[in-house]
Amino acid sequence: MTEQTTFGREDYRHFRPIQTRWMDNDVYGHVNNVNYYSYFDTAVNGYLIEEGVLDMHDGAVIGLVVETHCNYRQSLAFPEPVEAGLRVARVGSSSVRYEIGLFKEGHAEPAAQGHFVHVYVDRENRRPTPLPDDLRTVVNKLLVA
Amino acid sequence: MTEQTTFGREDYRHFRPIQTRWMDNDVYGHVNNVNYYSYFDTAVNGYLIEEGVLDMHDGAVIGLVVETHCNYRQSLAFPEPVEAGLRVARVGSSSVRYEIGLFKEGHAEPAAQGHFVHVYVDRENRRPTPLPDDLRTVVNKLLVA
Amino acid sequence: MTEQTTFGREDYRHFRPIQTRWMDNDVYGHVNNVNYYSYFDTAVNGYLIEEGVLDMHDGAVIGLVVETHCNYRQSLAFPEPVEAGLRVARVGSSSVRYEIGLFKEGHAEPAAQGHFVHVYVDRENRRPTPLPDDLRTVVNKLLVA
Amino acid sequence: MTEQTTFGREDYRHFRPIQTRWMDNDVYGHVNNVNYYSYFDTAVNGYLIEEGVLDMHDGAVIGLVVETHCNYRQSLAFPEPVEAGLRVARVGSSSVRYEIGLFKEGHAEPAAQGHFVHVYVDRENRRPTPLPDDLRTVVNKLLVA
């Protein structure tokens, strides 16, 4: 296991609510490890769509996921609501490293934290492309020093 | 295809918000047909848990699904929010037929409607058991004449 | 609940193996009702792709699901393998009703059976279109008298 | 992104087939990043159940996932079959680090590789417990020097 700094709520730049689902719980009665990544995916892409910089149907540039990671600290379970904190740790010429913390309501410490690296590519040829300016502006709003 | 009456919002007794997820969308850019059932499942069980009559971890009685059905009328797509309307069409000695309508925000006509039949069984031997009184009271609140 | 004829293996025209997944099991230790539909979806589309009549990326015609239904008779659970039986009950000008039975290994009676209605539409304008000849030929191979 | 050694097929100790599903593909036409983890989960737990050392219903000891990671190198897409290679990189007193490679049929290089750390806990109190002897024997069969 990788040693990791724990990030609290104050370390994130934007929060989004995540709704758990009945079938997220597995045989042990808690959200299955796989579903945490659907929360990451939904939080990051939801933010980008809301900010108007990701058009999944017609955009010339799409984000491909090249690396994901999660550390699980406390179990989550349907029907509890979850809050996803977002921050950007690095913006490269064609990639962005998003960091996500999942928090139980009212908790200061994360139930899970992880990251998610997008490489932005041309929709047609799927080759890396420089971040469009509007996307760069939006991800920079989440960038931590 | 079964001919069906269309139920509008006024035909439902309770509404719950459903959050779509990025991965709910399939290759055609809309929520895959399978995921509608996770919305049904989440709406029905979320209601029962909130009302205090379903304890998925320790309850003596659990609901097993014996029949589900859905008619799809309009496509849904992440990131749009969905509202699930709930009603109960029949309460038997050990079963309940829940009917669900999924609505886009501000739409009077459902994007999808379907049903979901629970048979309540003893957790240990999985044999049908009469509905506990508290559960019967709660589902009766959703019963349509 | 709808009264239903039970179809045995001999009533299906084609079989496909389905692999269950760890996270298919829900808190009660069996495959969640929602996942049965992912088996239906995978069996029908897998057959059509294998037969060369569905090109999900570039085909001019795509199948939209307008109705699905499932009756659950016996529980399934990861890691058991499942066999999906396929038959076609009706071929319309632009729609097909597929019927699916899910069988446990070595069982004559289905663990679940249901149906799935595809309406074929033009990929661009999403309006119903007559079944292409090659698709009609392939679904007719599964048609029961 | 973490720099990583690439492991080929010869670096894994056990292989398991994974079946992709229609709904695994997302709007970009390839398996969504989240689903890779359901393949990891299914491969590891499928192996342990088959070897008789994981009883998800009644075992006194269960495996909780505390860390997962994946690097994505080539896209996968339904309906292609996938092979999951398994190896164990570390066995602690109550934890195991599984490493998984996902391979396309006939490819020597992985489409994705990642890891998955299980901490084994007492089912009732969820506190870490020494690996049972039979489990230790089985995971040691996958241990790389």
The CATH number of whichever domain residue B70 belongs to comes to: 3.10.129.10
Task: Output the average pLDDT for chain C.
Answer: 95
In a domain, A81, yes or no: yes
CB contact under 8 A, A26 and C25: yes
Order of strands across the sheet that contains B95-104: B14-18, B82-91, B95-104, B112-122, B61-72, C61-72, C112-122, C95-104, C82-91, C14-18
Peptide bond into D79 cis (omega under 30): yes
Q: What is the spatial distance between Cα A121 and Cα A124, in angstroms, rounded to a whole number?
A: 8
pLDDT tens per residue, range A51-82:
999 998 888 999 999 999 999 999 999 999 99
Phi, psi at C19, each rounded to 5°? -100, 125
In a domain, C145, yes or no: no
Q: Which residues of chain D neighbour B22 with C-beta distances below 8 Å?
A: 26, 32
pLDDT at residue B56, as a whole number:
85
Q: Which amino acid is at D48?
A: L
> Which three-class secondary structure state does DSSP give residue A84?
strand
Return all residues near B125 (Cβ < 8 A) that are at least 6 apart: none
B27, closest residue in chain D (CA to CA)? D27
Residue D38 contacts B where some CB pair is shorter than 8 Å: no
- Number of compact structural domains in chain B: 1
pLDDT tens per residue, range B44-92:
999 999 999 999 888 899 999 999 999 999 999 999 999 999 999 999 9
If pLDDT is split at 50, 70 and 90, which confidence band does B26 have? very high
A79, closest residue in chain B (CA to CA)? B46
Tokens of B24: 């709910």
Global pTM?
0.96
CA distance D22 to chain C (A): 5
Alpha carbon C95 to chain centroid distance?
Answer: 14
Residue matched to tokens 């908790």 = A107
What does DSSP assign to residue D6? P
In a domain, D54, yes or no: yes
In a domain, A94, yes or no: yes
CB contact under 8 A, B22 and D23: no
Residue A32 contacts C where some CB pair is shorter than 8 Å: yes
In a domain, D112, yes or no: yes
Helix (H) / strand (E) containing B83: strand B82-91
Q: Which domain holds residue A125?
A: 9-140
Return all residues near B3 (Cβ < 8 A) that are at least 6 apart: none
In a domain, B124, yes or no: yes
Q: What is the spatial distance between Cα A133 and Cα A135, in angstroms, rounded to a whole number?
A: 5
In a domain, C128, yes or no: yes
Closest CB to C1: pick one of B2, B56, B66.
B66
Q: C18 pairs with which residues across the strands?
A: C82
CB contact under 8 A, B62 and C28: yes
In a domain, A40, yes or no: yes
CB contact under 8 A, A71 and D71: no
Helix (H) / strand (E) containing C30: none
pLDDT at residue D9, as a whole number:
97
Chains touching chain C at 3 or more Cβ pairs under 8 angstroms?
A, B, D
CA distance D98 to chain A (A): 11
CB contact under 8 A, A38 and B21: yes
Task: Kindly tell me the sign of the dihedral angle through the C-alpha atoms of D125, D131, D134, D139.
Answer: positive
Q: What is the spatial distance between Cα A18 and Cα A37, in angstroms, rounded to a whole number?
A: 12
Tokens of B91: 């309460």
Q: Quick check: C1 pLDDT over 60?
A: no
pLDDT tens per residue, range C33-68:
999 999 999 999 999 999 999 998 888 999 999 999
